[in-house]
Amino acid sequence: MTDLKDIENRRDIDKLMWSFYERMMVDPVIGFIFTHYAKLDLNAHIPVIADFWETILFQKPVYKRGPKAMEVHFDLNKKVQLRKQHFTRWLYLFHQTIDELYFGTKAGLAKERSVSIAKLMQNRIGTLPDCTEM
Ligand code: HEM
């Protein structure tokens, strides 16, 4: 049994995203992508990514940037060669954050959808395989 609640509303998504990005930014495997290449301003970025997840989890069409979700990663891939290991780590941290904060149908759906979107993204980008020297 768990005493964790499910992801129920926008506030829950915001909390999930802040916690996820806080750990990504300092992560030894992918942190550099966010701090060095993308130089993300979290106060501007988190509302956008939270819109994306609110649209997916609650079918609320607040994310209006459609294909941008894929395109920004093509552009990023031109600056940093995204590898399978980066996606594996992204997913690991996303699932770890969810599991620490939430439990339930929406939490499960978020994990499921992240895996399928990451797969699609890697196919579209043509992600390079793991590099053992990294
Ligand atoms: C290796 C894995 C990933 C890395 C390094 C990464 C990195 C980034 C970065 C740096 C941005 C900001 C780009 C910019 O504003 O210029 C971004 C945006 C975004 N990412 Fe990712 N990402 C990854 C995987 C994913 C996955 C798997 C998803 C979805 C499940 C996702 C969803 C998004 C969305 C929705 C945006 C906002 C797009 C917009 O501006 O409308 N990312 N990502």
CATH code, domain carrying 82: 1.10.490.10
pLDDT above 90 covers what percent of the chain?
Answer: 84
Q: How many domains does the chain have?
A: 1
130 lies in some domain: no
Strand partners, 128: 83
Is 134 part of a structural domain of the chain? no
Q: Report yes or no on 41 lying in a domain.
A: yes
Q: For residue 82, is it within any domain?
A: yes
Residue-range definition of the domain harbouring residue 77: 10-125
Centroid of ligand 1 to alpha carbon of 131 (angstroms):
21
Q: What is the pLDDT of residue 132?
A: 55
Q: What is the pLDDT of residue 131?
A: 58
- Nearest atom within ligand 1 for CA of residue 65: 41
50 by Cβ neighbours in 10 Å (0-12 / 13-18 / 19+) ranks as buried
Which residues sit with their C-beta closer than 6 Å to ligand 1? Answer: 30, 33-34, 38, 40, 48-49, 52, 65, 68-69, 72-73, 76, 82, 86-87, 90, 114, 117-118, 121
What pLDDT is attached to residue 133?
Answer: 47
What per-residue confidence (pLDDT) applies to 134?
A: 43
Residue 114 binned pLDDT confidence (cut-offs 50, 70, 90): very high
Mean pLDDT confidence for 23-45: 93
String of b and e for 20-40 (b: at least 16 CB within 10 Å)? Answer: bbebbeebebbeebbeeeeeb
Q: Is residue 131 part of a domain?
A: no
Q: What pLDDT score was predicted for residue 129?
A: 65
